[in-house]
A = this chain, B = another copy of it.
Amino acid sequence: MTSEGVDRVSRRDLIQSAEIITIGTEMLLGDLVDTNTAWMSSRLAALGVGIYRHTTVGDNRERVIGALREAASRSDLVLTTGGLGPTSDDLTNECLAILAGRKMGERSEAREHVDEMFARFGRKPTPSNYKQALFPEGAELIPNPRGTAMGALLDVEGTLFATFPGVPVEMRGMFEETLEPLVRERTEGSIVSRTLHFTGIGESALAEQVQEFLDATDPTVAPLAGQGKVRLRITTRGDDPEDARKKIEPVADEILSRIGKYYFGEDEETLESAVGRLLEERGETLSLAESCTGGLLAKRLTDRAGSSAYFSESVISYSNDAKHRLLGVPEKLLAEYGAVSEEVARAMAEGVRGVSGADYGLSITGVAGPDGGTEEKPVGLVWLGLADAGGTYSRKLDLTAWEASREAIRERSANLAFDFLRRHLDTEVPSGG
């Protein structure tokens, strides 16, 4: 990665604090949701680096330089995303050069990289594309095997700057392949977090049961709630990961002894991955019959690689005709009780289990809105059905008091549907049926 005339980035000093700067007027205008910053933050936190601040500024030379300068005054490491493209409003590396008092110069390895990437996709670069070969003099380059924009690493008076493109898949690869090993060499000790996931209990009711841990400073325990779930993140620092984990364990054990009945998994676990894991362990299979969620349950279940081991199929029966034809829901039931009813939810679950031969059939039918609600069946009324060899179960979800959007009703009812099945697999007795 080094070449003649390029400074090696100093690796002597410890990196204890970091900031992330997102550069792009489109972010300030709200055209895009920034997912890069959360991803980078979570990676840095795991490396034991404290994060002071996130900042977003537009494509404006003065404001970008201002943000870089402020961050340098506070933090050991400053990461930027965005502003590395070929157009005239892509200013990040130029602003970094101005801050560092360096000139911009073309780097042959970056020019060759642009040529190679274009060749791979069978296209020809235009003159403007070679703007991506210009870097502050003395910068180390961050290779980008997934796109044309390489990044720059440059030490400016003791603060290490690293510039990344805004395209998530490119940024993530560059972070993992180049930045992470470098930061790892310059941190001491480890910060370890363990996240416990709960469902079926509200945030404040949960907080009251574990209040002294929330008030403690080491390990810290932070609650986080959303869409019917509450997480507790337990964090501490140790000489090494093993040491930190040992400090977390008794806290986690005590929390679980108090509120374990609401617990469903740790760290990256989601309700759907918990369901997937349980099915995998039991060697059982699931099929789905979705109406109001329109594919969301299946989409979430198949987000997990390897889901084909326990998931064979889903029938999204949006129309009554499809409910009858594909799932065998009797027309009489549909006429008598309507599509959003306990009877139809049960028949959908039994139907999909029957046609698929899966061990479990899970169904959902409801009114997601914003239209289509009636006094009897308002927006937010959802029925779940679950069929297995032992019988058929059902559960009513009432999301009406909570004046939510179509999107939120679909998300929350999907969570509750996965939880319904998860509790059943965990051999708890379902609430209905």
Contacts and interface: CB of A to CB of B under 8 A. Distances in A.
A319 B326 contact: no
Contacts of A326: 313, 315, 326, 355
A322 B316 contact: no
Identical copies in the complex: 2
B120 A401 contact: yes
A40 B30 contact: yes
A43 B103 CA distance: 39
Interface string A116-127: 000011010010
Interface in A39-82: 39-45, 51-58, 63, 67
A307 B291 CA distance: 12
Given A30-B41, A37-B30, A316 B295 contact: yes
- Most chain-B Cβ atoms within 10 A of its Cβ — which of A52, A123, A195, A322? A322
Nearest to A124: B205
A233 B58 CA distance: 15
Interface string A134-169: 000000000001100000000000000000000111
Contact count band on A:
35 or more
B305 A299 contact: no
Given A204-B128, A299-B299, A224 B403 contact: no
Interface string A288-299: 101001111111
Interface in A90-138: 120-121, 123, 126, 128-129
Contact of A87 (B146, B207, B356): B207
Contacts of A397: none
Contact of A30 (B45, B300, B402, B406): B45
A132 B276 CA distance: 39
Given A233-B31, A295-B298, A403-B146, A315 B318 contact: no
16 contacts: A26-B224, A28-B54, A29-B42, A29-B45, A29-B51, A30-B37, A30-B38, A30-B43, A30-B45, A31-B231, A86-B204, A88-B214, A126-B208, A128-B204, A313-B315, A326-B326
Top 3 A-B pairs, shortest CB-CB distance: A294-B302, A30-B42, A295-B298
